[in-house]
Amino acid sequence: MKIRLRSKIALALAALLVIPILVVLATVLAIRLNIIQVPNLQGLRFADLKLIAPGKTSEELTMVPFIFFSIYFAAMLTMVGLVSKILSDFILLPLKELNYATERIARGDMDFKIHYQRPNEFGKLCKGFDDMRLQLDLSIQKQAIYEEARKQLIASITHDLKTPLTSIIGYVEGLQDGVVKDPQMIQNYLNVIHDKSMRLDHLIDDLFTFTQLELEKFHVDLQETQMKPILTEYIHTKTREFKNNQKIDFQVLHPIHDAKLMVDEFRLGQVLENLIRNAEKYTKTFIKIYTDCDDLFYNIYVEDDGIGISKEDMPLIFDHFYQCDKARTTEDRGTGLGLAICKQLIEAHNGRIYVTSQLGQGTIFKISLKKIEP
């Protein structure tokens, strides 16, 4: 049978207290048997030793040694119990809890709490261990959410790639077989093929950027740039794209302010493209782009009058794979990477991206980039 550590401590303390008494008794016995010879004590008979006390009979005095040793052993046993209890509370209890905690963590069970919280070194150790458990539990939960999102992403990508590819193949085969001969219908087929191809291109671009960010191979080439020329060129391109769009009014609020910033022109264009593409999916009548600036920051705004974002979704919209309107079809919703990529790209510029929105009324995204100090 295993002896518990507390019992071992109690036995050790008892031994420390009993051994001196045993040594004294052994010495006396050795002297009595002439094993140890002490001249002054040779021939001494302990039976002849008498206790003398005024007013006490010999019978009463005979009980004195027994009473003395009884009190001594009772005191020693009490002290052993107290000391072992103190050591147990100070050392054994926290060690027991820590051992229990490590066993549960090894099983992957984080749903427990270490209760030892006394103001001593073991209490600090237990608190630190419990904090580590909470962080590990949070990390595992995040990883589980992330892995689930990855699985959903794979399923979404499979659908997103297959659906437009199937359409493209169908329309191309129709053109090859000569089924469609009307020039207007042929042009419609080509327009559909172009739209589906552009969707695939956007999807692959998002996936490539996300993969680069995940592998930490992503590079932002910041260069000193005047903002008005590059924004003007980009806005002209988008204006041409929306020219034939009868549903959405693409508006540019002038003036486009100028300032000198450190930016990667291509990556900034990628952010604007994602924001405008996102607004195009959800807006009702218009998309606005405009700027302002102050002494420290240059701000770019992308505004729409779309369905808006709920308060519950607002803190999560920049998370990877998060999709606000899950009621929409997969094709409408996209992969949930666009806004997460925007956030990372803008932060790589040492800037910030903000969002304000009212459900059913519209959304405004604000890109804030730090100006170069004159």
What are the b/e assignments for 81-108, b being 16+ CB within 10 Å? eebbeeebeeebbbbebbeebeeebeee
Task: With a cut of 70, say whether residue 215 has pLDDT above it.
Answer: no
Instruction: Name the one residue in this structure whose structure tokens are 């080509």.
Output: 190
Domains of the chain, by residue range, sit at: 5-109, 140-214, 224-370
pLDDT at position 331 is 46
Give the mean model confidence (pLDDT) for residues 292-306: 94
pLDDT at position 174 is 81
Query: Which pLDDT tens digit goes with each residue over 70-126?
Result: 776 676 677 666 666 666 666 667 777 788 788 888 877 777 777 777 777 777 777
Provide the mean pLDDT of the chain: 77
Task: Round to whole Å and give the CA distance between 334 and 331.
Answer: 6
The listed range with the strongest mean pLDDT (146-155, 257-266, 313-322) is 257-266
Partners of 81 in the beta sheet? none
**Does the model's pTM come out above 0.85?**
no
CATH 3.30.565.10 fits 224-370, yes or no: yes
User: In the structure encoding, which two tokens stand for residue 85, read together?
Assistant: 């209890």
- Residue 211 vs residue 345, higher pLDDT: 345
Q: For 369, phi and psi rounded to 5 degrees?
A: -120, 140
CA dist 91 → 78, 81, 121 (Å)? 20, 15, 10
Query: Which CATH number describes the domain made up of 140-214?
Result: 1.10.287.130
Q: How does DSSP classify residue 367? A: E
Q: For 303, phi and psi rounded to 5 degrees?
A: -125, 145
Task: With a cut of 60, say whether residue 46 has pLDDT above it.
Answer: no
Query: Which pLDDT tens digit goes with each residue over 318-373?
Result: 876 666 554 444 444 455 677 888 888 899 899 999 999 988 889 999 999 999 87
* Residue 170 pLDDT level (bands cut at 50, 70, 90): confident
